[in-house]
Structure 1
Amino acid sequence: MSRIGKKPISLPNKVTIDIKGQHIAVKGPKGSLELDLPSKVKVNQEGETVLVEREDDSRTARERHGLSRTLVANMIEGVSKGFEKRLSIQGVGYRAQAQGTKLTLNVGYSKPVEMTMPKGINIAVENNTQVIVSGIDKAIVGNTAAKIRAVRPPEPYKGKGIRYVDEFVRRKAGKAGKK
């Protein structure tokens, strides 16, 4: 049995789950999410807990068991609490601005880089150097943060670029001068 897959998922208050075969719909205070589960996996609700079970012990069922449980748990957490990723911009003259669903990054290129955020993603900028990406779908939040970071990844010599707040960038010494 999968260690992750056999754990029950508790439903917080104000979160409802609707299971119709392989289709799951989760509604909560932050919004609603839907997911079609892969075959060989089924979801059962027992009171305030949700259990993900596999139909048999085939290899594909075992592979999908833990994955499906994690996807359902992330949906429930997303509609109740939401997810957020924080990015930090480091470098002289590097800054960000948010206008509605657009993020404008000035990160050393000849022109500012404009990015349009996908539906369901909220963007906030603090102190022109802190970008906060938030939403209810963990995968979209993570992918959007990764795309923003990819505009100017941190470089190892001066550390300039866009990085996650908790990311450590290993620095290199650079050239040794002539003696």
Structure 2
Amino acid sequence: MSRVGKLPISLDTAQADLSNKDFVSIKGAKTSLVVKRVDGVDVKLEDKKLVLNISKTDKKTKSLYGLQRALLQNAVHGVTKGFVKVLELNGVGYRAAVNGKKLDLSLGYSHPISYPIPEGIEIKVDKQTSISIMGASKELVGQVAAKIRGFRPPEPYLGKGVKYNTEVIKRKAGKSAGK
């Protein structure tokens, strides 16, 4: 049995809709998220807390028990507080700007990059070199941040590129001059 799966999930200000047998709907003040249910894991609402129990005892269900709880916990956290990832642009002339539903990036290529902002994601450019990605879905926030980072990943020699604000780049020494 999973130690993670046994823990109840406090709903705080969120509301859970368990009427559908295939999905659990979590509603918050601004948004709502839908989490797919795992076969063999029962979800019940007790005293403003979600409690998970296993009805099947096969290997697959046991392995997905903790995952189901983590997905529900992320959904509750997302609709109440939200998730944020911060990216930094390091390099001469590297800039970012939000224009309507698009993020315009200048990353040292011969052309600007225009990235359409997906539904459910809010992007703020604090400075020209700092991008904050916010949203209710942890998966979508991480996916968007990884996609933007992928346009120009940080390189180890000069450290230029797009990196997470918590990321540490392992630097390499350049060519040695001399024989």
TM-score (ref. length: structure 2): 0.96
Q: Percent identity?
A: 43
Match in the other structure for 1:44: 44
Query: Structure 2: how far apart are the matches of 1:164 and 1:97?
Result: 17
Q: What SS does the aligned partner of 2:6 have?
A: coil
Q: Deviations over 1:57-114 (max 9, x none)?
A: 2111111101100010111111100111000000011111111220111111000111
Offset of residue 35 of structure 1: 2.0
Q: Letter of the aligned partner of 2:165 in structure 1? A: V
Match in the other structure for 1:177: 177
Match in the other structure for 1:89: 89
Q: What SS does the aligned partner of 1:24 have?
A: strand
Superposition map of 1:97-176 within 5 A: 97-176=97-176
Offset of residue 30 of structure 1: 2.5
Query: Structure 1: how far apart are the matches of 2:106 and 2:162?
Result: 11
Q: What SS does the aligned partner of 1:69 have?
A: helix
Number of aligned positions between the proteins: 178
Match in the other structure for 2:63: 63
Offset of residue 56 of structure 1: 2.3
Which consecutive unaligned segments of at least 5 residues does structure 1 have?
A: none
Offset of residue 127 of structure 1: 1.2
Query: Structure 2: how far apart are the matches of 1:163 and 1:50?
Result: 36
Query: Structure 2: how far apart are the matches of 1:43 and 1:22?
Result: 11
Query: Structure 2: how far apart are the matches of 1:30 and 1:42?
Result: 27
Match in the other structure for 2:16: 17
Offset of residue 26 of structure 1: 0.9
Query: Structure 2: how far apart are the matches of 1:82 and 1:119?
Result: 15
Bigger shift: residues 52-61 or 129-138:
52-61
Q: Deviations over 1:121-162 (max 9, x none)?
A: 001101100000001111000000000000000000000000
Query: Structure 2: how far apart are the matches of 1:79 and 1:86?
Result: 19
TM-score (ref. length: structure 1): 0.96
